[in-house]
Structure 1
C-alpha cells in the first residue's frame, strides 16, 4: 500500500520523524516498520527520518500488507451509503436510524460496515471502524479507509480533536442550557443498559443547548466531552427528560429514537483541511 501526501502550505518545517510522530500521530509500531524498511520517500527519493520537510514537499509512505490484519467483512448493498465527505484516506457517511454500525457475527451483511465494504470495493479500498453510533441513532459517522490513518484518527478521537454535535427531542420542557456531569456505569440487571453510578461509574460530561420547546417536548443540541456508551440517552433520562422513542430509557412508543449526530468536525491530519460534515436533513 502506497500513500503519497503533498504537505500543505501551512506545514511548518520539521524532520520526518517529528512530522510522523507529533503532527500525524503515527503510532510507534508503524514508524518502526517505515524506518527499518526504508519505506519513506521524500520528493521521489528514499529518505531518512532526520531529513527536514516543509510545505510543498511530497512524502510517500509504503505499508506492507502483511503487517496489518483485516477482519473480512461480507459486502452489503452500496445504495445504503450516503457519503458526506470522502477522500483517499477517510469517509464520513450519514447512517440511517435502525442500522448497526458493524456486524457482530461473521455472516451478517446488513450493517453500515457491510454496505461500506460494497461501496469501497470497486475503488480497491476497505473501511475501518473509528467510532460507533448506536443502532437506533442516525447521523454522521467517520470511517478510515486504510491502516495508516486508522490509528491516527483514533488518537485524534481520544484527544477530543474530533468534535460531534447531536440533535435530540426529549420528553417534557427544558427552559435553559445545562451541563450534566453524572458518572455512568453498567446496569447490573440489564446488560444492554447503562445507569448513573456516581460511586463506580466513569466520568461523563454532556453539554445541553436548548433549540425550542413545544407540546411538552424539547428540541435540543448535545455536545459531549466524553464518549460513554449511551451517554446522551442516560444523562437526559436521569434528569427526567428521556429521548422520545428510546426503547431502553423511555416507555412511550415512537417511530424511532429521536437522536441524530447532525455534525462532525475535525482537521484533516494530512492536509490540515477543516472538515465540517453536516448530516442532513436532521430532526428539524
Structure 2
C-alpha cells in the first residue's frame, strides 16, 4: 500500500499527473493498479482524471506480483530494511540471481523466502559477481524498483568497494586516482572482459585510493561512476595491480611473475578479495539519501590479518570514512 495526503500546492491537478510526475509512478505500474481497482481517494474509488483537492488522502494498493524464482530458505544478513527496500550483505560464492547453469541457491531465492510471509517479492536493482561479497539492494515491489532504476540512470545510486591488491612499492597511500577504460567482452571467453576501445567497449570510470599497505599488498577503496562487468578487477589487473585471489584477472594476466606471497594468498583465499562495503541512494521524494554499510567479509579480514596487518579492514574504512 502506498498512501499520501494532497498538499496545498498540489490541489487542482489531475490525479494521473500527481501520481506520475510527483510520485514517480510509471505508466505501466499505474495501468496495472487501475486494472485491479487499486486507487482510492478518501476511501472511495476514483478515476485518474479526477481533480484532487488539498487534504485528499490518496491510497494506491500495490498489484499482486508473482516471481519466477522459487523461494529457498537460507541465512541472510540484513544491513537495512524499510517498507520499500532491503539491503543484504552477500557472502562470496553465492549467485546474486539464478543463471542458466545454476538455477537454485541464489541470494534472490533466499530474499524471496524472507519476503514471502509479507506477500512481497524481491526485485534486483543491481548485481555483484558470484565471488564478490557485500551490499546488494533489492526493491520490495514494482514501484520501488522503478524509482531505483530511475535513480541508477540518474547517477543517484553510489557503490563503494574495498579490496586487497598486489601493489608496487611506489604507489602512494592516501591519494585518489581515476581509472578510465573502455571494457569489452573477450571474444575468446564471453564470461570474461578485456580492455577495448570506444568502438567495441563501454566506458568504465572508477575512483580508487590506497589506504594501507602490508608488504606487497595494499588495501584500496573504490567509488564507481559506472557499473560494468568485472570493472574493478579488470581495471586494476590491467595496470599491474591484480586483486588478491582473483582467478580470472591474475598476477600472470598483469604481466607480473608470481611469487611466494601470491601462491600463499591464493591458497588461503579461493576468490577475489573484493567487497562492496557501502551503498548510498536517493530516489524520488526522498529528502535525504540513505547510506548503508556492509561489514567486510570475515575471510577478507582473515587473509589481511594473516598477511600481518594489525588494524582490521573495518577499522581502516572507519578511519578513512571522511576522506571520500
| TM-score normalised according to structure 1 size | 0.85
Distance 1:149 1:75 in 2: 20
* Deviation of 1:116 (Å): 1.1
Deviation at 1:57, TM superposition (A): 6.4
> How far, CA to CA, are the matches of 1:140 and 1:99 in structure 2?
13
Match of 1:266 in 2: 281
2:74 counterpart of 1:78: yes
Task: Tell me the equivalent position of 1:230.
Answer: 230
SS of the residue 1:190 aligns to: coil
Q: What is the distance in 1 between the residues matched to 2:183 and 2:87?
A: 28
Partner of 2:105: 110
When structure 1 is superposed on structure 2, of 158-167 and 267-276 the one drifting more is: 267-276
Q: Going by fraction, where is helix more abundant, 1 or 2?
A: 2
- Going from structure 1 to structure 2, the CA distance change for 1:107 and 1:242 (only over 3 Å counts) comes to closer
Give runs of aligned pairs for residues 25-174 of structure 1, distance below 5 A. Answer: 25-34=24-33, 39-47=38-46, 48=48, 51-52=51-52, 58-65=57-64, 70-79=66-75, 81-105=76-100, 108-173=103-168, 174=171
Name the structure 1 match of 2:205: 205
Instruction: Give, in whole Å, the separation in 2 of the partners of 1:111 and 1:104.
Output: 9
Q: 1:107 to 1:180 in 2, by over 3 A?
A: closer
- CA distance, structure 2, for counterparts of residue 202 and residue 33 of structure 1: 35
Residues 38 and 63 in structure 2, CA contact (< 8 A), matched pair in contact too: no
Distance 1:212 1:33 in 2: 52
Between structure 1 and structure 2, the one with the greater Rg is: 2
Give unmatched runs, 5+ long, in structure 1: none
Change (3 A) 1:225 1:12: farther
In the alignment, which residue of structure 2 is the partner of 1:241? 241
Deviations along 1:152-187, one digit per CA (max 9) or x if unpaired, are: 211211211111111111111431421011110001
The secondary structure found in structure 2 opposite 1:148 is helix
Residues 13, 38 of structure 1: alpha-carbon distance in 2 compared, 3 angstrom cutoff: farther
Aligned to 1:279: 294
Distance 2:293 2:49 in 1: 38
Aligned to 2:272, the other structure's residue is in SS state: coil
TM-score relative to the length of structure 2:
0.75
Checking the alignment, whether the CA contact within 8 Å between 1:25 and 1:155 is kept in structure 2 is: no
When residues 268 and 163 of structure 1 are mapped into structure 2, their CA distance, relative to the original with a 3 A threshold, is same
**Cα distance between partner residues in 1 of 2:5 and 2:183:** 42
Match of 1:5 in 2: 3
User: Would the aligned equivalents of 1:130 and 1:142 in 2 still touch at CA under 8 Å?
Assistant: yes
Q: How many Å separate the matches in 2 of 1:225 and 1:12?
A: 38
Judged with a 3 Å threshold, the aligned counterparts in structure 2 of structure 1 residues 200 and 27 are, in CA distance, closer, same or farther, namely same
The residue number in structure 1 matching 2:216 is 216
Aligned length: 275
- Judging changes above 3 Å, is the alpha-carbon distance between structure 1 residues 17 and 246 closer, same or farther for their aligned structure 2 residues? same
User: Any unmatched runs of 5+ in structure 2?
Assistant: 252-261, 301-312, 314-324
